[in-house]
Chains A and B, each alone.
Chain A
Amino acid sequence: MATFDRRAFLRTSGLAGLALGLAACGDNGTTTTTSSSGGGGGFGSVKLQLSWKKNVEFAGEYFADTNGYFKAAGFSQVELLSGGGSGTSVESGLATGRCWAGLSAPTITAPAVLQGAPLKIVGATFQKNPFAIISLSKNPIEKAADLVGKKIGVQDSNELVWNALLKANGIDAAQVTRVPFQSDPSMLTSGQLDGYVGFVTSGPVNLRMKGHDPAYLLLADAGLPLVAETFTVTQETIDNERDKLKAFLTAEIKGWKDAVANPAKAAELAATVYGKDQNLDVKEQTEEAKMQNELVVTDDAKANGLFTMTPELIEQNISSLSKAGLTIKAEQLFDLSILNEIYQADPSLKLS
């Protein structure tokens, strides 16, 4: 009898181990159903996996949904899947068919492509890298060399960005103490961290609101120019659903045009509608929205349209990735032809 118990137990414990693994890949993002009364066009309902929790970073998506651009483009519904957990990566979601498109970053998409996942980046919301090392000005990290000997909080999903930063600046990983970090800036103010890797749009604003004096080092200024919040889709979507993808990106362009024009409304949508459960502060989100506009609306984006990438920008990204040890060709990772076709067909979509 005891033997049976032991075996039964082992079987369960083994399965529990498996379940642990499966759960790590499982969907733990919360979903929000978008307003979708009435039948849309022929594209049905799709899921868009966001790269982070629902805050003002996704203002364009909120506008595209609220103002009915998705519906007008023929989607009955675009479901925005909240991200931020370790199991919610866009790349694994696309590979397993859990989402149709996602907002990610080249440092996350490139390794997936190199592992054989048939994915492409078809546009970039943030033209400039919003990643920064955020610290306090009483103990500031203002250049890469300042990192040596410091305790830095790095999220697991930012693993590659972090490694790239160290490599680009010739810093040995052993010279910096990397501390496990989720997303709690209070670890910085309580002195457990000297700095952390985060978006420059959110951390400093948050710290300032709480009465601290933040300092930051933009990764773009530390030898790592990269785009962010990139639209990632499968190659199959590009090949077989080109019209659907064009309709989607067109709605996104319209949404983001509204978002950059109206930071206050963007913040309100984030704090009171889409990210309601996040306890966001409208004032803080407004500041973030204003700050992120500078990363979204660059001179190139003004000239060529939102989300577009110039050949020089693509080249910079490829070279940043190679610093991270990711040797990948531009045509393996980027396909901007869809956006180009959209803007050629309708130049009025550009920012006027």
Chain B
Amino acid sequence: MIGRTVLRIVGPLVPSVVIVVAAWWLALEAFGISPLVGKRPPQVWEYLTASQAHREAVFGALGITIRDAAIGFVSGMAAAIVVAVAFVLLRTVEQTFMPVAMLLRSVPLVVMTPLITLVFGRDLLGVAVIGGIVVFFPALVNIAFGLRSASPQATDLIMAYGGTRFTVLRKVAVPTAMPAVFASARISVPASIIGALIAEWLATGEGIGAEILRAIGGFRYDEVWADIVVVTGVSILAYAVVGVVEALVLARFSDRRPG
């Protein structure tokens, strides 16, 4: 069962990867970008296989970026779930805070980052806030919607038997919201990586987000492209992992067939 699910979700990734690599190569050739700047797939492969130092530079930075993205992902999703539950339990909270949340969302993160670093510092807390903001808002809207689409009949049934709104939440709303939670998780995977890159570029100065710009400054375009490749690869992989977990959890948790 697990093996089949994994294959069903990972299988389609293979053509995706082929298409992405082909598009990369063709775009560079089509626009006639000099190989000094626009590195082709074989050059990136050569760079990564040529020396241990190259691999350490790229994968060391990647490790930091994965950590930063994970921090942003977890903090953003956790905050979104907590706030969504609060929204559903207390209607007034939603009416008060949703406009504020949307207002905050409409300020570009790049503009807010200097302020965030001033308040929360440049270490992991700052990363959690910057990454969390990227993940938080789409997840919040999705999950709040999922929680609220609980079946009224089931809700009425529980209320009639003396259940509280909390029981309704636990027995009806949460299982109903599971597809929405996973849909947000899938959107949030690439988003959390973007958040991590922004945080690294503007706040922490380590990881791929910082290294890629330093590599451009040092005319190390091999490294730039290798960074892009590994970060894209991780993004695709993480997306697939969430897909597998989603399929397995939904098969158990929800009456809806996972698709």
- Give A residues with C-beta under 8 Å from B: 1-3, 6-7, 9-11, 13-18, 20-22, 24-25, 86-87, 89, 91-92, 95-97, 108, 111-112, 115-117, 155-160, 178-180, 182, 184, 190, 192
Are B259 and A112 in contact, with the CB atoms below 8 A?
no
Are B36 and A15 in contact, with the CB atoms below 8 A?
no
Question: Which of B15, B20, B37, B210 is close to A180, meaning CB atoms less than 8 Å apart?
Answer: B210
Are A108 and B217 in contact, with the CB atoms below 8 A?
yes
Are B34 and A6 in contact, with the CB atoms below 8 A?
no
**A227–B57 alpha-carbon span in the complex (Å):** 30
Closest residue of chain B to A110, judged by CB?
B219
Instruction: Classify chain B: how many residues form its interface, as a range.
Output: 35 or more
Closest residue of chain B to A178, judged by CB?
B205
In B168-200, which residues have CB < 8 Å from any A CB?
Answer: 190
Are B219 and A180 in contact, with the CB atoms below 8 A?
no
Question: Which of B12, B17, B27, B232 is close to A3, meaning CB atoms less than 8 Å apart?
Answer: B12
Are B216 and A13 in contact, with the CB atoms below 8 A?
no
Are B228 and A21 in contact, with the CB atoms below 8 A?
yes
Are B228 and A117 in contact, with the CB atoms below 8 A?
no
**A25–B36 alpha-carbon span in the complex (Å):** 11
Q: How far is the CB of B188 from chain A (nearest CB, A)?
A: 12
**Given A91-B219, A111-B220: A17 and B37 interface contact (C-beta under 8 Å):** no
In the complex, chain A residues whose CB is within 8 Å of the CB of B213: 24, 86, 156
Question: Which of A13, A17, A112 is close to B219, meaning CB atoms less than 8 Å apart?
Answer: A112
**A116–B37 alpha-carbon span in the complex (Å):** 11
**A91–B215 alpha-carbon span in the complex (Å):** 13
In the complex, chain A residues whose CB is within 8 Å of the CB of B15: 7
Q: How far is the CB of A219 from chain B (nearest CB, A)?
A: 16
Are B217 and A158 in contact, with the CB atoms below 8 A?
yes
Is B33 part of the binding interface, using a Cβ–Cβ cutoff of 8 Å?
yes
Residue among A6, A24, A97, A180 facing the most chain B CB atoms (10 A cut-off): A180
**A240–B232 alpha-carbon span in the complex (Å):** 42
Are A13 and B228 in contact, with the CB atoms below 8 A?
no
**A156–B239 alpha-carbon span in the complex (Å):** 31
**Given A18-B232, A86-B217: A7 and B16 interface contact (C-beta under 8 Å):** yes
